[in-house]
Amino acid sequence: MLLKTQWFLDKKSPIILGIDDLTNAIYQTSSREMGDCGFYGLSEIGIYRYFENYILKKYPEIKVTYFLVFDKHSTYIESKEAYSIYETEKFKNLLFHIINIGDEISYHGHNHGHKNATVENKKWCREFEQYSKQEYFEIIYNDIERFKNEFGYDILGGRTPCYQFEDSLIDGLISVGFKWWSFDHKPFINNIGMCYKGYDIIEMPSNLHGGIFNYCGNYLKYSIKKYLNLAKIEKMIDNHEVISIAEHFMNARPDGKRQTPNVYDDINSLDFLFGYLRNKDVWYATFSECANYYESYNNTEIISLNNNTFDIKYKGNWKMFLTFASDSRYLENVETKERFEGQMKNGKWLFNNLVVGTYREIA
């Protein structure tokens, strides 16, 4: 019998980490604190190297999806320096580095919005309120096309700044080619879905706060909260749910208060979380890898032709990306005669490199 596994390599749950506000800027809060969102690139004084040195080097299994602001970030905090993503070589080198190591760049707006814009009764103007719908999606289309031309990389999904989204924009997201979107943060909710509100775009979850294990100043309260949260995470893994960790590089909000979560404040919490997950049977993936697998699982059918021969059919719009399980160690493609050897896990032989076609199980 040939079967689909729910997640890659028959892992229990995907672990995806999204970091917002990768931006070519350093900023200054009212308390005169300086903050880097990526401006220093790969320099040792930059936020990326801080995150790399304390987390990525210790847990190289992690995959990261960085939500990038494509033009100059909004100036709601007094900026010392802010540029578009193409204006400095050190920032471009950072983007090339992220892409080359297999992490992901996704869309997090053109300018992230503006303060004190001329919108009635509003102090904050969401970026899509600055333009007509047609103008807004022309800007997004131009952003992702230029990125592809400059970096040779397709942007497949994203997240609206501050999760401030309106349903009237969904068809625009689809029109520019996005395959998935992260619409909202819902703690411990596995809200991955094929067709968000009936539209042909995958909803990707954001459900775990990166600072969930920060010390709160009271050891008893901290201990109780920690073990309750661990129990919730264990339940999600046992139920094969997506665990989507939310973080920021920017550590200040538009009102000047401390942004939570943020990588700098949450480094110990993240260290504890990934240390805890290390002995779990989980799959570290980018948002697009997880979305692609989920889409493939829901759009792939296995049709039994006889006792040991099966048709694999895929009706999706990505390249099929799926792990199959069989009682047999070998599968043979009936058309090409190519033979595949599985790898054993949990009493089944797993296959990751199959394509659409007819296969025969060989003992």
Residue 307 and residue 284 share a domain: no
Of 259, 292, 325, the last residue of a domain is 292
Token reading at 235:
């339940």
Q: What is the pLDDT of residue 313?
A: 98
Residue 75: what pLDDT?
Answer: 61
Q: Is the domain of 18 the same as that of 132?
A: yes
Helices (H), 101-218: 133-151, 170-175
Is residue 208 domain-resident? Answer: yes
**328-334-338-343 Cα dihedral, nearest 10 degrees:** -20
The answer on 351 and 225 residing in a single domain is: no
Task: Note whether residue 1 is domain-resident.
Answer: no
> How far is residue 361 from each of residues 303, 304, 311, measured CA to CA in Å?
13, 11, 11
Q: What pLDDT sits at residue 113?
A: 74
pLDDT, position 242 = 98
Residues 145 and 23 in one domain: yes
Q: How far is CA 10 from CA 149, 240, 333, 351, in A?
A: 36, 10, 22, 10
Same domain, 89 and 113: yes
263-282 core/surface letters (b: 16 or more CB in 10 A; e: else):
bbbbbebbebbbeebeeeeb
Which residues have CB under 8 Å from 315's CB, separation 6+?
299, 300, 301
- pLDDT score recorded for residue 131: 84
pLDDT of residue 77: 58
Is position 167 within any domain?
A: yes
89 and 182 in a single domain? The answer is yes
The reply to whether 241 and 329 lie within a common domain is no
Q: Is residue 6 part of a domain?
A: no
Q: Write the DSSP symbol of residue 219.
A: H
Q: Which of 273, 292, 311 is the last residue of a domain?
A: 292
Residues 181 and 320 both lie in one domain: no
How many domains does the structure of the chain reveal?
2
* Structural contact between residues 46 and 38, judged by C-beta atoms closer than 8 angstroms: yes
Same domain, 160 and 55: yes
Q: Is residue 266 part of a domain?
A: yes
Residue 4 falls inside a structural domain: no
Whether 3 is in a domain gets the answer no
Do both 90 and 225 map to the same domain? yes
Q: What is the pTM of this model?
A: 0.94
Nearest to 192 by CA among 288, 270, 67: 288
For residue 42, the surrounding DSSP H or E stretch is none
Query: pLDDT tens string for the chain (363 positions)?
Result: 899 999 999 999 999 999 999 999 887 765 556 688 999 999 999 999 999 999 999 999 999 999 999 988 776 556 677 889 999 999 999 999 999 999 999 999 998 776 654 544 456 667 888 888 899 999 999 999 999 999 999 999 999 988 888 898 999 999 999 999 999 999 999 999 999 999 999 999 999 999 999 998 899 999 999 999 999 999 999 999 999 999 999 887 766 678 889 999 999 999 999 999 999 999 999 999 999 999 999 999 999 998 899 999 999 999 999 999 999 999 999 999 999 999 999 999 999 989 999 999 997
The count of other CB atoms within 10 Å of the CB of residue 118 is 8
In whole angstroms, how far apart are CA 275 and each of 55, 62, 69, 162? Answer: 10, 11, 30, 29
Quick one: 107 and 155 in the same domain? yes
Q: Which of 292, 318, 338 is the last residue of a domain?
A: 292
Residue 155 domain-assigned (yes or no): yes
Domain that holds residue 334: 301-362
Regarding whether 20 and 88 lie in a shared domain, the answer is yes
For position 27, what pLDDT does the model report?
A: 79
CB neighbours of residue 167 within 10 Å: 10
**Exposure string for 75-85, b = 16+ CB within 10 A, e = fewer:** ebbebeebbbb
- H or E element, residue 311: strand 309-314
CATH number, position 224: 3.20.20.370
3-state secondary structure of 36: strand
What confidence score (pLDDT) does residue 123 get? Answer: 60
